[in-house]
Amino acid sequence: MGMVKEFRDFALKGNVVDLAVGVIIGGAFGKIVDSLVKDLIMPVIGAIVGKVDFSEMFILLGPVPLKDGKEVARTYKALSEAGAPMLAYGNFITILINFVILAFVIFWMVKSFNRAKGNMSLDPAAPPPATPEDVLLLREIRDSLKK
């Protein structure tokens, strides 16, 4: 029974629960950022660059595969399904932009949280915590050396 109790104590620690909540919220938040990049940002960038779909930006590294005696369509989906070797740099650009936006948003969220956390107090009238005894002793020694 000792192992079961130890596991229960580990699983119910605040840090483990916080991590689980963070992973779940992070997954949902990742989907929002994916949609933001895919549905709002990439079409604008695609219009500026002159190519609407970044996923169709690739370099074929070998011959176009044949299917039923005919060449496979020269689209990313068809070529990847046929197993053609490709350098899919358009997909990489999309994922890179997604990462930068996600990192920027998380940076601002953490910055805002830390700012709010610094201003939070459970009881504004509560006295500050007592100074530790070792700090008091060090202050006394410092003051006596000044004399």
Residues 30-79: tens digit of each pLDDT: 888 888 877 888 788 778 877 666 778 888 888 888 888 888 888 888 88
Output the 3-class SS for the chain. Answer: CHHHHHHHHHHCCHHHHHHHHHHHHHHHHHHHHHHHHHHHHHHHHHHHHCCCCHHHCCEECCCCCEECCEECCCCHHHHHHCCCCEECHHHHHHHHHHHHHHHHHHHHHHHHHHHHHHHCCCCCCCCCCCCCHHHHHHHHHHHHHHC
The reply to whether 142 falls in a domain is no
Question: Can you give the pLDDT at residue 121?
Answer: 54
Domain of 23?
2-52+88-121
The reply to whether 28 falls in a domain is yes
Q: What is the pTM of this model?
A: 0.53
The reply to whether 146 falls in a domain is no
CATH number at residue 39: 1.10.1200
